[in-house]
Structure 1
Amino acid sequence: MFGLIGHLTSLEHAQQVAEALGYPEYANQGLDFWCAAPPQIVDHFHVTSVTGQIIEGKYVESCFLPEMLVNRRIKAAIRKILNAMALAQKADLNITALGGFSSIIFEEFNLKENKQVRNVELEFERFTTGNTHTAYIICRQLEQVSAQLGLDLSQATVAVCGATGDIGSAVCRWLDQKTDVAELLLIARNQERLQGLQAELGRGKIMELEEALPQADIIVWVASMPKGVEINPETLKKPCLIIDGGYPKNLGTQVQHPDVYVLKGGIVEHSLDIDWKIMEIVSMDIPSRQMFACFAEGILLEFEGWHTNFSWGRNQISVPKMEQIGEASLKHGFRPLLSW
């Protein structure tokens, strides 16, 4: 059996979902309550592969909210993720994917130093960030949608915002090794890491956001939006493809222009319906078929019996690993979301 650890997008969203799921005691509570709320297993479902294989999974709601990171509730956020992992392990889930901010918090705050959670010693091989499959899907979305729009990669400039992150650096490696993209623009806050990535790739221009975006035919956004920053679509190339790999995905509402195409990055569609409620909670267009690629990685690892932390650590994703998870993705009936 596999698991998925997730969270909701805001306090307001959490209150609405609590009411819908039958937790009225959570529905009218403020941030202090959610900081103390324990993780819950709120969904139990089955997934069928196009091969005919059927597996069983559970969804663990961590009760983490993004507001905890901006309201000096870092300790609460850390506790949320560790407690959710402990609950997944106690439920004897073979492999569990850390969705959304769960994996970011784990890496950013070095939670591998916190193996003991009350009476549970975490076995990290039971967990995966799902970032390898997410990076693979974003790259396939870029390749396929750019072709639909008539953007020739051999003449295109691609800007990667968040280039030094786990997913961003993997996307850069794929673009460098698997495509003939003409120009690669590298954007991130940490200049030392940017220079290290540039040296590894042997290419790429390090640029500031405001300078890079107007030059890009394709923008891969896999970073958090800096406070106060807005993208003016009038300054972008036309046509321009933006792949929004962040969470929550909000660039589609912020950047609106008939010649700027904003795609929800890192989303996959399954060939068969899944009997779960969780994708309705996050407002997927087709909740019985669509999901985050990081969650799909957990599903794929269970299908294949790869009960190991396939994606783990910072900037460890290689192109061969992306190809490996990509082959499993196709085998079991997943495909990148290509509509906007």
Structure 2
Amino acid sequence: MFGLIGHLTSLEHAQAVAKELGYPEYADQGLDFWCSAPPQIVDNITVTSVTGQKIEGRYVESGFLPEMLATRRIKAATRKILNAMAHAQKHGISITALGGFSSIIFENFNLEQFKQVRNIKLEFERFTTGNTHTAYIICQQVEKASKQVGIELSNATVAVCGATGDIGSAVCRWLDAKTDVKELLLVARNQERLQQLQDELGRGKILSMEEALPQADIVVWVASMPKGMEIDPKVLKQPCLLIDGGYPKNLATKVQHPGVHVLNGGIVEHSLDIDWKIMGIVNMDVPARQLFACFAESMLLEFEKLYTNFSWGRNRITVEKMEQIGQVSRKHGFRPLLV
């Protein structure tokens, strides 16, 4: 059985979803209540591969909300992720994906040091961040969607914003090794890590956001969006492909301009309907078919009986592992969302 650990995008969203799912005691509560709310299994899932194989899964709502980080409730946020992991393990789930902020919180706050959650000793091999599949799908979106909008990769400049992160660095490795992208622009806050990535690749220009955006034919956005930051669409090239790999995805509403094509990055479409409710609640356009690639990774590992933390740690994703998960993804009927 596979699992998905997720969370909602805001307190308002959480209250609305609680009401819809039949948890009225959650629906009118404020942030303090959500800080203490336990994890819940709120959806049972059935996925059918194009091979005919069927698997069962569970969606674990962690109760984490982004406002917990914004209001310095860090301990509550970290406790939410660890409790959700323990809940998944307690219910016998073999491989569980950490979705959204879950994997980011796990890495940034070094939660691997906390192996004991009450009476449960966490078995980390039961969990995956899903970042390898996400990075692979974003790269497929770069390659396929660029053709759709008339951008030739061999003549294109690609800016990766968030280049030193787990997904961003993997995207850079793939674009360097597997495509003929003309120019790679590396954008991130940590200059030391940028230099290390540039040295590893043997290419790529280190630029600020303000310098990179006007030069880019394709922008891969896998960075967090600082509060108050806006992208001025008038500085972007036309045509420009902007792949929004962040969470929550909001660039489509913020960047609206003729010639700028915004694509929800790291989203896959399945060939067959998935029996679940949760993707409708998180506002996917086609909730029976579309989902986050990180979630799909746990499904793929369940299909293949690969019960291992396939994606784990920071900046360990290799091109070879991206090719491996990509092959399995295609085998079972998943494909990247395109323009």
Q: Tell me which amino acid in the other structure corresponds to 2:113.
A: E
Note the alpha carbon deviations across 1:264-298, whole angstroms, 9 max, x for none: 00000000011100001100001000000000000
Residue type matched to 1:266 in 2?
A: G
Task: State yes or no: 1:298 paired with 2:309.
Answer: no
Q: Which amino acid aligns with 1:69?
A: L
Tell me the residue number matched to 2:229.
229
TM-score, scaled relative to structure 1: 0.99
Q: Which amino acid aligns with 1:39?
A: P
Structure 1 partner of 2:114: 114
Instruction: Give distance in 1, aligned partners of 2:202 and 2:324.
Output: 24
Aligned residues of 2:238 and 2:258 also touching (Cα < 8 A) = no
Distance 1:27 1:301 in 2: 34
State the Cα distance separating 1:102 from its structure 2 match. Answer: 0.3
| TM-score of the pair, normalised by structure 2 | 0.99
Amino acid at match of 1:267: I
Match of 1:337? 337
Letter in 1 for 2:246: G
Tell me what 2:51 maps to.
51
Instruction: Report the alpha carbon displacement of residue 194 of structure 1 after superposing the two structures with TM.
Output: 0.5
Correspondence for 2:140: 140
Counterpart position of 2:63: 63
What residue is the counterpart of 1:190 in the other structure?
190
Displacement after TM superposition at 1:46 (Å) = 0.8
Task: Give, in angstroms, the shift of residue 6 of structure 1.
Answer: 0.2
Is the partner of 1:170 in helix, strand or coil?
Answer: helix
> Number of aligned pairs?
339
**Structure 2 unaligned residues grouped into runs of 5+:** none
Give the deviation of 1:15 after TM superposition: 0.3
Distance 2:283 2:168 in 1: 25
Deviation at 1:226, TM superposition (A): 1.8
- For residues 47 and 314 of structure 1, the distance between their equivalents in structure 2, rounded to whole angstroms, comes to 29
Is 1:167 the counterpart of 2:167? The answer is: yes
Alignment correspondent of 1:130: 130
User: Does structure 1 retain, via aligned residues, the 8 Å contact 2:83–2:117?
Assistant: yes
Aligned to 1:247: 247
> Partner residue of 1:77?
77
Residue pair 2:138, 2:245 contacting (<8 A) in 1 also: yes
CA shift, 1:173, in A, is 0.1
Task: State the 4+ residue runs in structure 1 displaced beyond 4 angstroms.
Answer: none
State, as a whole percentage, how many aligned pairs show the same letter.
79
Q: Residue in 2 aligned with 1:285?
A: 285
- How many angstroms does 1:299 deviate by? 0.2
Distance in 2, matches of 1:80 and 1:226, equals 23
The aligned residue for residue 212 of structure 1 is: 212
CA distance in 2, matches of 1:219, 1:180: 16
Q: Deviations over 1:75-125 (max 9, x none)?
A: 000000000000000000010000000000000000000000000000000
Q: Distance in 2 between matches of 1:264 and 1:132?
A: 17
Deviations 1:197-252 (A, max 9, x none): 00000000111101110100000000111222211111110000000000100000
One-letter amino acid of the structure 2 residue matched with residue 112 of structure 1: E
2:68 aligned partner, one-letter code: M
Match of 1:270 in 2: 270
Gaps of 5+ in 1: none
Distance in 1 of aligned mates of 2:42 and 2:78: 21
SS of structure 1 residue aligned to 2:294: helix
Q: Distance between the aligned counterparts of 1:96 and 1:246, measured in 2? A: 21
